[in-house]
Amino acid sequence: VAGFTAVPGLEAIVARMIAPAVEDIGRQVEEEAKKLAPPTKQWITVEDDKVRVTHRAAHGQIVPDNLRFSVPSMDWDMKHRGVGPITYFKQPRDESSRAVANLKHCRCITRTDEEGIAREVNRTGAVFEGHEVKVTVYAQGKWIIQAEYGTVYPGNLPAPGTHFMARAAANVATRREG
Ligand SMILES: [Zn+2]
């Protein structure tokens, strides 16, 4: 065993030394997470007086691209298609929603925002806790959990997660291993 003389406060000094490298990793993970974050989509009606009430209620609704819009159901669909009070659409006229009446003659569209979730990804600067240095990359917003992990809607309609945060960390780790 080689001799070792403890330097008082060495761990704190080391933490300061490696801080720039840790910050660089944080920066890379943040950048990768923003790249992998799903877009958001917004339900848009044509805003004339023929737009049905249920779609008027959905106008302006924004969700991550992997999720579904929540739109009030139409009576016919509840009676004949077994949908609940809310119909879950990937996009207007989405047959996987199991609705029929709520699709007919629909003229709605979706508007995509590529940066929708990316804008909610952020990172802290280096934080020193004793002999540790820590950088946190985080995402904060109404839909982050569902964007990452997905969800299952009533009627067993799946919305898979995008795992953009987990994949960002994994990608940066892989890159650093060469
Ligand atoms: Zn419509």
Among candidates 96, 98, 129, which has minimal Cα distance to 11? 129
Q: Which residues surround ligand 1, an ion (CB under 5 A)?
A: 55, 106, 108
Handedness of CA 162, 164, 170, 176 (dihedral sign): positive
> If you measure from the C-alpha of residue 96 to the centroid of ligand 1, how many angstroms do you get, rounded to a whole number?
16
Angle in degrees, CA 19, 119, 115, rounded to 5: 130
Gap between the Cα atoms of 165 and 142, Å rounded:
16
173 three-class SS: helix
The 10s digit of each residue's pLDDT in 26-60 is 999 999 999 999 999 999 999 999 999 999 999 99
CA 95 to ligand 1 centroid distance, Å: 13
- Could you tell me the pTM of the whole model? 0.89
Q: Ligand 1 centroid vs 53 CA: distance in angstroms?
A: 9
How close is the Cα of 59 to the center of ligand 1, in Å? Answer: 9
Tokens of 125: 């600067």
* pLDDT tens digits, 94-138: 999 999 999 999 999 999 999 999 999 999 999 998 789 999 999
Task: Give the contacts of 75 (CB within 8 A, at least 6 positions apart).
Answer: 101
**What distance in Å separates the CA atoms of residue 27 and residue 168, rounded to the nearest whole number?**
11
CA of 92 to the centre of ligand 1 (A): 6
